[in-house]
Structure formats: C-alpha cells, structure tokens
Amino acid sequence: MKPAAFEYSRPADIDEACALLAADDGARVIAGGQTLGPLMAMRLARPSRLIDIARIPGLAFVRDEGKEIVVGATTRQHVVENDPLVRAKLPLLAKVMPFVGHTATRARGTVGGSLVNGDPAAEIVLVAVTLGAILVWRDGGESQSIAASDFFLGPMVTALPLTACLAEARFPVWPEPRVGVGFHEINARQSDFAFVSAAAQIALDADGCCTRAAIGIGAATAVPLRLDAVADALKGQRFDEARVRELAKAALAGIEAMADLHASAEYRKRVAVTMAVRAIADAYQDAARRP
C-alpha cells in the first residue's frame, strides 16, 4: 500500500516546527521515520501534514556537560552506538544500542524518535528511566523539562504536549571509577521487540561492595520500572545471587504485567526476575574488572 496524501513541511528551527503542530491537529513530526513510515504505508497512520525536523540545525549532537551527557533529539541511533563519549561516560546506553532494532533502522532511527514513541519494550526508553534521564522539549517558544520516569504514561503514550517537540535528553554521568553495566532481554529473534528486558548499572568500592545501583525492567509492564528497593538493598553488599533473586522477586511480586499473544503476564513476571538477576550479575562483574 501507499500512504494517504499529506502536506510536507521542513521548518527552519524547532519553534517553527512547534508552530506548525499547533496550527494543524493532524500534523505529525518525522525525523527518522522508522515507526511512522511503515504505519503510513499500511494506512494505520494518516497525518494531514508531515513536519520534517531531521535537518534542523542544533538538534543532532552528543555533548559532554560534565555531570550530564546531552543527546540531541534527532541524533541518529548509529551515531550514539559508535560515539566514544557515550562509550566512556554512558556505558549502559552504549551497552543497549546494538539491541535497538537492526543495523539498517539504527542508521535512520533517532534517539528522540524512540523516546517520543514511548514503546515500553524500547531499550533507549529503558535506559532513560533506569538512569533517571531528564527530557527537554520546546513548546510555544519555551523549554520545559521532565524526568523520564514521569514522561512515559503508558504504551506509546507520553506526557509530550501535542504542540511540542522533544529537543534533547540529558543522561546523568556517574563519577565513580568502578562502574559496571549489564543488560539482558528475551525475544523471539534477535533485534525483535523484547518480551522482557532488564538493565543494571552498579558502582563498586575497592572491596567489591556496591556503593550505588540503578536497575530497571522493560517490556513487562505498561511503562519501564525502576527497581529502587533492590538498588537500595544492594548498597554495601557484594554480589550474592540467591539474595539478589529474592530481592528481585519481592520487588516484582505486585507488578501488573502485560499479557499478549507473545507472552502471558505470569511468564513476564517470572522472566523479569531472571533477567534482573543476570543484568545485576553482569554489572557487578563488569565493575570488578575496572581498575
């Protein structure tokens, strides 16, 4: 099939893009088009106007701001995957990037597009929630920011106003020297949508005890979950698989897991525990290798 007819605009800056959105209820923003394009081809999406922000100056970058690494909304996923700054200071984001779609889609897909799409199975979304990223959008000539944990409201539902454009994502940098990461997901085939995923970032002291931890579960619930109770319980502790499993099981006992044709809620809850244990184990081991 072919897309339904639409108007096309290429704004000069992000504020013009927001103005175009405000003027047309049926307008949609496009950058990489890896989600919207197929939906339009199947006529599951019929925007009256496409607002192409891919070439707006100043929206594609990876920038070191000391305590944060800031990633522009239209930064291609393959750029982040191969960026030395991301590898050095955002190891968890670097870890998940090869799992984001396929090589071809990462060449066109953008970081902002993944975040705004709000898929609970998306790896970049999981990292944003796990690390406590701050998302910044423009609307009406002003910038507003929101914590990633508050941005995602449900499957493909976010707090982004209809007249706003995401501008950047600000990921916190951990200053500790011994930081390790782990990531695991399960799916039908590699690079397919995850049924369950888990991410962990852990800092260790010289004795191998945890000084700081961030743990998240994706794809199991309507929005990614931070397991803060597990992270707090790990502080001052070496890795103990049995204890970590108990902690993860307790933290996930009361979640409302999703169910669909691919996996039942019971399966997702059970596998989420295993994925969390594996991700935490890998993070401990990764950190222990640091000098």
pLDDT for 68-82, tens place per residue?
A: 999 999 999 999 999
Alpha carbon distance 245, 271 (integer Å) = 11
Instruction: Tell me, yes or no, whether 98 and 146 share the same domain.
Output: yes
Residues of the chain short of pLDDT 70, as ranges, are 1
Instruction: Tell me, yes or no, whether 201 and 168 share the same domain.
Output: no
pLDDT for 166-193, tens place per residue?
A: 999 999 999 999 999 999 999 987 777 8
| Those residues with Cβ within 8 angstroms of residue 267's Cβ, 6 or more apart along the chain or in another chain | 195
For residue 52, being part of any structural domain is answered with no
Alpha carbon distance 67, 85 (integer Å) = 13
The conformation of residue 40, written as its DSSP 8-state character, comes to H
Give the torsion sign (CA, 88, 90, 91, 93). Answer: negative
Domain total of the chain: 3
Domain that holds residue 221: 179-288
Q: 3-class DSSP state for residue 279? A: helix
Classify burial at 25, counting beta carbons within 10 Å of its beta carbon; exposed 0-12, middle 13-18, buried 19 or more.
Answer: exposed
In the listed set 106, 137, 172, which residue is the last one of a domain according to the structure? 172
Question: Does the model's pTM come out above 0.85?
Answer: yes
Position 24 scores a pLDDT of: 93
- CB of 203 within 8 A of CB of 213? yes
For residue 20, being part of any structural domain is answered with yes
